[in-house]
Amino acid sequence: MKNQRSVLLLEDSALEIKKVERAFQKLGFENTLVSKINGKEGLAWLMENQDNLPGLILLDLNMPIMDGFEFLEKVKEDKVLKMIPVVIMTTSKHPSDKLKGFERQAAGYMVKPVRYSDFLEMLSTMKHYWDISELAT
Amino acid sequence: MEIIYIDDSEFDRLAFKRLIKKMGLSSVTIMESLDELDSLNISGDSILIRDCYVPGKEPDYSGFIEVYYVSGSKLSPSLQSKLKIDTDHFYLKPIKEDDLESMIKGTSVKENDSSLDLSYLDELSDGDEDFKREMVKVFLKEVPDQIDVLLDAVKNQDFKKIAETIHALRTKIRTFGILSIDELSENLEYTAKTKSFDSWTKFESEVGYLTSELKKSATELENMI
C-alpha cells in the first residue's frame, strides 16, 4: 500500500488482535497497526500523536473503562480527529447498535468474525479514500 | 439385548414397528408412556429409546445400558439441559435404519461428532499450524477464567457483567465455530443487557448449557495441540 498511515485498533480481546494482525500480514498491508485495549487508552494515544494521526480506526464496541460508542462520540466532537474514518468491528448484529454507530458517524460496520474478503474490501475502500484525500491536498 | 421404545405418537410407534420388522429385530417392547416402564423387569443390557416429549414421570435410568432421545424437531438447548441429553444420544425422527444400528452398537455413525466448525480458523491460518496453535492457546487460557466470571456474575445477578462476559465469549464462539451455542449466546447477551428475562431459572440453565459446551470445546481443542 502506497500510503503508509498507521491504523489504530481498539480491541480488548487478544484473539481479535491476533486476527487483525494476521489479516494485515496475509493481505500484505505494511501499514503499522497500533492496538489499544480501551477507548480511554485510544484517545490518549491520539492526543499524543497529533502530528502522526492514523488513517483509520478499527473500533470494537464492548470494551472496559470507555466503550466504543463513547470513544466514537469523543472522536467526532474533535475538529481534527473527526476526519479519521472509524470502522466498527463488533459481534453485535443488532440493528439498533448498527444505527447507533452510523448516527455517530462511523464510516463502516463489520460483524465479527471478519473474513479476509471483508477486510480486503474495507481496506481497499480506505486506501482509495486516502488517495483521494492526498490528491485534494 | 432388549430394546424399549416409548412414544405417545401412534404414527411414530407404527413407523418404529415397521423399522424393527425390516431389520429383523425381535426383542422389542413398544410403549406409550414413561409410567409403563414400572411394569417391566429391566435387564442390564436394555436400550431405551424415547421421544423427548413423551408423557409420564421421568424414570430411574439405572438398568439401561444406554438411553437415546428422539424428536421430530431439532434439539433445543433448554430441553437438552433439562433432560441432560448428550448430543450423540439424540436422533431426529423418523428414525432410520442407520440410526437404530448405531444405537444398538452403542457408537454413533454420525459423520461429524465434533462440536467445532474450524473453517474460519482454517481460512485465517491458511495452513499455518503455529498460528492455529497460538489461537487455541489464547482460547484455552482465557475461556476458563471467563466461565468463572460468568458463573459468579450469574450467582450475583450482575446483569451488566453477565452481558459483558458473554459478549467477550462470543468472538471465541464464532472464531472456533461452536455452532451449538452461537445463537444462544447472542440471545443470552441480549437478555442480560435488556434484563428481559422470561424466567431466571431458564436463563440460569441456559448459561449452564453454554458453559458446558465451552468446556467440551476446550477439551476438544486441548487434544488438538
| Among candidate residues A59, A49, A109, the one with its CA nearest the CA of residue A81 | A49
**Interface A-B: count of C-beta contacts within 8 A:** 48
C-alpha cell at B165: 462476559
Mind listing the pLDDT tens digit for each residue in B5-52?
A: 999 998 899 889 888 888 888 778 889 998 888 888 776 678 889 999
Residue A94 with chain B: CB contacts under 8 Å: 190
pLDDT of residue B107: 45
pLDDT, average across residues A32-50:
92
- Residues B13 and B30: beta-carbon distance below 8 Å: yes
Give pLDDT, residue A8. 95
Instruction: Supply the CATH number for residue B136's domain.
Output: 1.20.120.160
B101 plus B56 within the same structural domain: yes
Three-class DSSP category at A115:
coil
pLDDT class of A76 with cuts at 50, 70, 90: very high
Residues B173-202: tens digit of each pLDDT: 989 999 889 888 988 998 998 888 888 888
Q: Is residue B124 located within the same domain as residue B218?
A: yes
In a shared domain, residues B101 and B135: no
* Phi and psi, residue A68, nearest 5°: -65, -40
CATH of residue B70: 3.40.50.2300
Structural domain count of chain B = 2
Query: What's the full length of chain B, in residues?
Result: 225
| Best of A11, A13, A24 to mutate (most B CBs within 10 Å, chain B) | A13
Residue that terminates a domain, selected from B55, B83, B105: B105
Is B128 in the same domain as B214?
yes
**For residue B109, pLDDT beyond 80:** no
Mutate to test the interface with B, among A11, A91, A118 (most CBs of B within 10 A): A91
User: What one-letter code names the amino acid at A41?
Assistant: E
Cα distance between residue A28 and residue B128, in whole Å: 16
Q: What is the pLDDT of residue B141?
A: 93
Amino acid at A136: A
User: In this structure, is residue B177 part of a structural domain?
Assistant: yes
Q: Assess whether B101 and B152 both reside in one domain.
A: no
Q: Please indicate, yes or no, whether residues B10 and B94 belong to a single structural domain of this protein.
A: yes
- A88-116 pLDDT per residue, tens: 998 887 888 889 989 889 988 988 888 77
Q: In this structure, how many other beta carbons lie within 10 angstroms of the beta carbon of residue B223?
A: 7
What is the amino acid identity at position B187?
Answer: N
Q: Residues B91, B155: one domain?
A: no
Report CA B158 to chain centroid distance, whole Å. 27
Q: How many CA atoms lie within 13 A of B131 on its CB side?
A: 18
Are B25 and B47 part of one and the same domain?
Answer: yes
Query: Is residue A10 classed as helix, strand or coil in its secondary structure?
Result: strand
Query: At CA B170, angle to CA B145 and CA A40, rounded to 5?
Result: 75
How buried is residue B135: exposed, middle or buried, by Cβ count under 10 Å (0-12/13-18/19+)? buried
The Cα of B157 is separated from the nearest Cα of chain A by a number of Å equal to 19
- Tell me the CATH number for domain A7-127: 3.40.50.2300
Q: State which residues form the domain around B173.
A: 119-222
Report whether pLDDT(B154) > 90. yes
Tell me, yes or no, whether B114 lies in a domain.
no
Question: Same structural domain for residues B189 and B101?
Answer: no
pLDDT at B203 over 80: yes
B90 belongs to a structural domain: yes
pLDDT confidence bin for B143, thresholds 50/70/90: very high
Interatomic CA distance for residues B143 and B160, integer angstroms: 18
What type of residue is B152?
Answer: D
Report residue A107 as a C-alpha cell.
Answer: 464510516
Same domain, yes or no, for B206 and B145? yes
Residue A92 has which C-alpha cell? 453485535
In contact, B52 and B30? CB cutoff 8 Å: no
Q: Are residues B206 and B167 in the same domain?
A: yes
**B217 compared with B115, residue with greater pLDDT:** B217
pLDDT of B112 > 60? The answer is no
